[in-house]
Structure 1
Amino acid sequence: MSVVLLVVIYVAFVGLGIPDSLFGAAWPALHADLGVPVSWGSLVTMVTCCGTVVSSLSSAALIGRFGTGRVTAVSTALTAAALLGFAVAPSFPWLCLLAIPLGLGAGAIDTALNNYVALHYKATHMNFLHCAYGVGITVSPFLMSLALSGGTWRDGYLEAAACQAAIMAATIAILPLWSRVGHADEDPAGEKDDDPAPRAASPLALVRRRDIRLACLVFMASVAIEGVCNTWCTSYLVSSRGMGAGEAAGMVTVYYVGVTAGRFLSGVLANRLSSKQLVGLGQAVTFVAVLVLLAPLPLAAAPVGLFLVGFGNSPLYPNMLHLTPRLFGRDLSQAVIGVQMAASYVGALTLPPLFGVAAERVGFWLFPVALLALSVVVLAAFLGLMALKGWRPRRPGVPCEVS
């Protein structure tokens, strides 16, 4: 039963990744079909992101009242309904309206399952969980391209909605397992198997704490690296490196392949290395990658640099989430994860557009400079958090500890 539950959690995270890149793949055909300016796509993305922030901050109260299983099932149903709505939406305002349940559902799924896996499973499962997300975000543009080759963008959204409906059915089917499956062998901290009673804490009270502010800064800057790469790497390669537009468009895929590969390898290594070590090694790779982009190397080195940025930055998100119960307490982890993920979404919503404004005025040669600055922020905030928590290095054969 434990295996079945874990498999469905993985599948739910594949489904979580599907909508995140589906809209971008559909937008060129979608905006032309609905007759709206291409720039309006950011409005839908912003509404979705705001929904995720709201649901992330509300997750502790919702899960405390209804439980992880019910919140996951209902949230998956929300995303399935939103995707179906996108498929039949008659006009652009409907897309903005449907982006609200899409964001609310995605944020709740993300926060609920991350906390559950952080509490009950080893770090390797957290890394593989986010590798599953990488599979979803990589596959969905392919699904949309298949739909567009023989039909319309609406067919792509219908296929995505069908996938989410199947995942919804699976999450409903396993509802009885959430209370019956034990995790004594999987509990990474060797603590009590039962979920601790969530401690009541408002987001405002949490962010007054210096340690939580540092953790939020780590998440915000790390996700900003991803957002800047996703949004602006093509413009950088075309404007500053002279790459052809068609070739440059495929470099986003190279970045996400690096993300997926990095999380898979991180999952494999999690039984040998601590989460802190995985984050540190990943950031070292990220610095090397940024230097590759900064150096006056041939254009062929640029895809290597982008791959390594994704590869190096990818272990941070799952491993920081896995550390949350040990850094802040099992009873407070759900609330803290909600705040951390809200900070991530705020970083994704604000920092890439700010970089776009700066690059438009100064030049896209700022791209690797911005990545370097964000990497420095990530590393400084992470080291500051570990020092504040009195990190004790892991001894051989002993689980890592944070005092």
Structure 2
Amino acid sequence: MYSLLLAIIYIAFISLGLPDSLIGAGWPVMHRDLDVPIGVAGILTMIIAGGTIFSSLASERVTRRFGVGLVTAVSVGMTAAALIGFSVSGEFWMLCLWAIPYGLGAGAVDAALNNYVAVHYAARHMNWLHACWGLGASISPFVMSWSLTAGLGWTSAYLIIGLIQVALTLALLSSIPLWGKVNPVRPPESTDAADAETTDSSPAPARAHVPLSRAVRIPGVPLILAAFFAYCALETTAILWASSYLVADRGVSPATAAAFASLFVLGITAGRFLAGFVADRIGDRWMIRGGFIAVGVGAVMLTLPVGTDAVALVGLVVAGLGSAPIYPAIIHSTPVNFGRENSQAVIGIQMAAAYAGSTLAPPLFGAIAAVTGLGIFPVYILLLVALGLVMSERLNVRVRGRDTVTAA
């Protein structure tokens, strides 16, 4: 049962990534069919982001009441319904309506699954699971491309992914009894130590509700929220703007820039698979620290005034590889940093901070670049790296001080 539940969780993470690239991949065709300006895609993403933030903040109360298995199944079911709704939408306002359950479902399942894995599984699984998200996000553009090439239209791509989500919903519903019977427990240890796994068939103890107002006042929580905001801000800004920077400021050909911009995303996915092999030995703190430093090195490489573009292009790949372990390590360290009894509430807030960073930072950079030019891109990334690194290191100092007092 242990292996079966773990396999289901892996598949669920692939499912989480599947819808995330569909709008971007299909929008050049979608906006023409819907007869709307290309820029209104931002309205859809804002609605989805608003839903994810709301459901992330509510995840602690909902998961505590209904259990992670049922919350995961229902949330995936909501995204499935939304995707099928997209496939039958002939007007933009219909997409906006379906974006509401899409966002609500995505945020709830993200927070619930991340907390479950952080509490019960070793660091390697957190990295591999988030690599599975990247795998799902990489698959859906190919589904969209196939649908358009085959003359089936963008609606068929949404229908295909929606039906896959329906199948996963049924699998998750059938797995609900496993979540109570199979309870691999990750022991409470320092985030600098290797994780171990044991199997405990007893149910987890009931947790008291942790209000958001109390969770945000837990010492260190504002620091990790700032660090998480910074990381997700730099990741999405790089994904959206790196190619434009390479073309406009470095004179790289559009085809080459697009290829290396995609390598940034592939670097994140591949980096998480590789990080899984060393995460238990290195520990979450060093994974976060090393990741931010590597992104900073990559950003510096983008600015070096050398006679070849190879250094800048390699710098983008280095930044992608450096980004890989940060998100999983921040999530995985939450139960140790703030206590298992608080982890679901804190992870819900972290998810909200992540979505806020992902939503706000790219358009903010666009507004700044409209005034300063795209050459400011590496500086913008470096500022976010500095914010994330400083905040995470301040949290480490606080946690070490707390552990020292406790041991004494």
User: With structure 2 as the length reference, what TM-score do the two structures score?
Assistant: 0.93
Q: 1:196 to 1:326 in 2, by over 3 A?
A: farther
Q: Which segment is superposed worse, 269-278 or 109-118? A: 269-278
- Cα deviations by residue, 1:138-177 (Å, 9 ceiling, x for unpaired): 1111111111111211111111112211211211121111
- Cα deviations by residue, 1:209-254 (Å, 9 ceiling, x for unpaired): 4511001001000000111011111221221112233433333321
* Aligned partner letter, 2:220: D
Q: Which residue of the partner structure matches residue 94 of structure 1? A: 94
Unaligned 5+ segments in structure 2 are: 190-195
Q: Provide the rounded CA distance (Å) in 2 between the counterparts of 1:328 and 1:19.
A: 32
Q: How does 1:124-143 map to 2 (within 5 A)?
A: 124-143=124-143
Q: Which residue of the partner structure matches residue 16 of structure 2? A: 16
Match status 1:165 vs 2:135: no
Q: Which residue of the partner structure matches residue 369 of structure 1? A: 379
Q: 1:86 to 1:390 in 2, by over 3 A?
A: same
Aligned equivalent of 1:292, options 297, 301, 305: 301
Q: 1:376 to 1:63 in 2, by over 3 A?
A: same
Match of 1:200, SS? Answer: coil
Q: Provide the rounded CA distance (Å) in 2 between the counterparts of 1:83 and 1:23.
A: 11
* Aligned partner letter, 1:217: A
Match of 1:130, SS? Answer: helix
* Aligned partner letter, 1:48: I
Q: Which residue of the partner structure matches residue 7 of structure 2? A: 7
Match of 2:78, SS? Answer: helix
Unaligned 5+ segments in structure 1 are: 394-400
Aligned equivalent of 1:384, options 383, 394, 400: 394
Match status 1:339 vs 2:349: yes
User: Shift of residue 188 of structure 1?
Assistant: 5.9
Match of 2:40, SS? Answer: helix
User: Shift of residue 59 of structure 1?
Assistant: 0.3
Aligned equivalent of 2:221, options 212, 222, 239: 212
User: Shift of residue 296 of structure 1?
Assistant: 1.7
Match status 1:307 vs 2:317: yes
Match of 2:70, SS? Answer: helix
User: Shift of residue 207 of structure 1?
Assistant: 2.4
Q: Provide the rounded CA distance (Å) in 1 between the counterparts of 2:144 and 2:361.
A: 28
Q: Which residue of the partner structure matches residue 181 of structure 1? A: 182
User: With structure 1 as the length reference, what TM-score do the two structures score?
Assistant: 0.94
Aligned equivalent of 2:364, options 354, 360, 372: 354
Identity of aligned residues (%): 43
Q: Which residue of the partner structure matches residue 397 of structure 1? A: none
Q: Provide the rounded CA distance (Å) in 2 between the counterparts of 1:155 and 1:187.
A: 45
User: Shift of residue 112 of structure 1?
Assistant: 0.4
The answer on whether the counterparts of 2:53 and 2:107 sit within 8 Å (CA) in structure 1 is: yes
Q: Which residue of the partner structure matches residue 192 of structure 2? A: none
* Aligned partner letter, 1:348: S
The answer on whether the counterparts of 2:63 and 2:71 sit within 8 Å (CA) in structure 1 is: yes
* Aligned partner letter, 2:235: E
Q: Provide the rounded CA distance (Å) in 1 between the counterparts of 2:104 and 2:261.
A: 26
Q: How does 1:3-82 map to 2 (within 5 A)?
A: 3-82=3-82
Q: 1:260 to 1:220 in 2, by over 3 A?
A: same
Q: 1:310 to 1:194 in 2, by over 3 A?
A: farther
- Cα deviations by residue, 1:314-336 (Å, 9 ceiling, x for unpaired): 21111111110111111110000
Q: Provide the rounded CA distance (Å) in 1 between the counterparts of 2:407 and 2:305.
A: 42
The answer on whether the counterparts of 1:80 and 1:161 sit within 8 Å (CA) in structure 2 is: yes
Q: Provide the rounded CA distance (Å) in 1 between the counterparts of 2:243 and 2:366.
A: 12
Runs of 4+ with >4 A deviation:
186-193
Q: Provide the rounded CA distance (Å) in 2 between the counterparts of 1:247 and 1:156.
A: 27
Match of 1:112, SS? Answer: helix
Match of 1:199, SS? Answer: coil
* Aligned partner letter, 1:167: L
Q: Provide the rounded CA distance (Å) in 2 between the counterparts of 1:236 and 1:96.
A: 31
Q: Which residue of the partner structure matches residue 123 of structure 2? A: 123
The answer on whether the counterparts of 2:303 and 2:312 sit within 8 Å (CA) in structure 1 is: no
* Aligned partner letter, 2:27: W
Q: Provide the rounded CA distance (Å) in 2 between the counterparts of 1:382 and 1:261.
A: 24
Q: 1:136 to 1:402 in 2, by over 3 A?
A: farther
Q: How does 1:99-110 map to 2 (within 5 A)?
A: 99-110=99-110
The answer on whether the counterparts of 2:180 and 2:203 sit within 8 Å (CA) in structure 1 is: no
Match of 1:268, SS? Answer: coil
